[in-house]
Chain A
Amino acid sequence: MASLELKQLVKEFGSGASMVRVIHGVDLQVNDGEFVVFVGPSGCGKSTLLRLICGLEDATSGDILLDNERVNDKRAADRGLAMVFQSYALYPHMTVYQNMAFGLENIGTPKAVIEKKVGDAAKLLRLDALLERKPTQLSGGQRQRVAIGRAIVREPKIFLFDEPLSNLDAELRVSMRSEITGLHRRLGATMIYVTHDQVEAMTMADKIVVLRAGKIEQVGSPLELYNRPANKFVAGFIGSPQMNFVPVHAGHGDTIVTAHNASFTKPTQTRPASGTELTLGVRPEHLSLQAADGALALPMTITGVEQLGGHSLLYGTLPGAGGKDGPRITAQVAGQVSTRIGDTATVYASADTCHLFSTADGETVVR
Chain B
Amino acid sequence: MKRLALLALAALGLVAADFRPALPGYEYRFPRDHFSHPEFQTEWWYYTGNLRTPQGRRFGFELTFFRHGVARPPVRSSPWQVDDLYLAHLALSDIDKKTFHHRERINRAGPGLAAASAELSRIWNGNWHVEWRGNVQSLQAVTDAFTLRLEMVPQKPPVIHGRDGVSRKGPEPGRASHYVSFTRLAASGALELDGASYELAGLAWMDHEFFTNQLSPEQAGWDWFSVQFENGAELMLARMRRNDGSVDPFSHGTFVDRSGAARHLESKDFSLVPGATWTSPSSGAVYPIEWRIGIAPLGLELSAATPLANQELTGRGGPSLTYWEGAMDYEGTLQGKPIRGEGYLEMVGYAAPFRFGEASGP
Partners in one complex: no
